[in-house]
Amino acid sequence: MIKKSLLIGMFGLLLVISSFKCYAWFDETHLAVAKAAGYYKWYNAVGADMLKVKAGDSEKYNHFFDNFNDVKVTTEMVLKQAGEYDNPVDTEGHLYGAIIASIRQYENRKNDNKYAEYHLAFCSHYIGDLSAPFHNVIYDDFNKKHHAVNDGIVDNEVLENINKVKENMTRVKLGTDNFEKDLAREIAKIANNARQLGHKLQKEKRDMTKEEAYKQLGQSASLLNAVLKHLGKGN
């Protein structure tokens, strides 16, 4: 009876997890992005995916933007999405705004002399999601078929190859006076690059190569590194 109950419980958990249409990069890949970026609490970078199992709709829509109308992502769109953070009704998703909003929550908690690190961990995860091509295009049949394969394309090796992520990193400049606007601009840039790659994969009917994946991860790590430096958390 105990074994049967355990199996039923595990099956139920799998059903809950599988109901989420978007995972983003798998755990080791998220950890590698955070480590490459110099996030000293890199091990917290998978927390946002763990929360999806418990929090459901209030968290899962923070991890993607379905882009129903296939529009170019703009700075204004990113900033507007910040108001949708944790909104379980916005089924198109608001990944871009989640990055902005999680930083706001981090700074607000810190200014109130409260523990703020978890919000930074969420931010690190969202920035990792940002470069995943299938998190920036509509969740159609091709996306459904290829999503998991691409999210895990380098997961079994990436922690041993963090230098490959670092080799694809570039310097990202985020001003102090116009931080959010600069950040939104960089978010839009990465989102549009990932979106274009998603369309290319669909047109060519294939999955990412490992080289393409590391290039994407380098973009996320670059932006996260710039955010950490702005917050006085990076090197």
Domain assignment present for 14: no
Answer yes or no: is 8 within a domain: no
The rounded distance, in Å, linking the Cα atoms of 31 and 47 is 10
Please give the pLDDT value at position 52.
86
Cα–Cα distance between 204 and 133 in angstroms, integer? Answer: 14
The model's pLDDT over 47-104, given as tens digits with 9 standing for 90+, comes to 999 888 888 788 999 999 999 999 999 999 999 999 999 999 999 999 999 999 999 9
Confirm whether 59 is domain-assigned.
yes
Any domain includes 3: no
- Residue 7 counted as domain residue: no
The values of phi and psi at residue 172, to 5°, are -115, 130
What would the pLDDT profile of 136-183 be if each residue is shown by its tens digit? 999 999 999 999 999 999 999 999 999 999 999 999 999 999 999 999
- The pLDDT tens digits for 177-196 are 999 999 999 999 999 999 99
Confidence (pLDDT) at 145: 97
Look up the domain containing 122 and give its range.
Answer: 21-230
pLDDT digits (tens, 9 = 90+) for 28-48: 999 999 999 999 999 999 999
Domain for residue 6, yes or no?
Answer: no
Within the chain, residue ranges assigned H as helices are 2-18, 27-37, 47-55, 57-60, 75-81, 95-111, 117-130, 141-151, 162-166, 179-204, 210-230
When divided into structural domains, the chain yields a total of: 1
Q: What integer pLDDT is reported at residue 16 of this predicted model?
A: 38
CATH, residue 106 = 1.10.575
Q: Is the pLDDT of residue 234 over 90?
A: no
Query: Does 53 or 26 have the greater pLDDT score?
Result: 26
Could you give the CA distance from residue 113 to residue 123 in angstroms, rounded to a whole number?
19
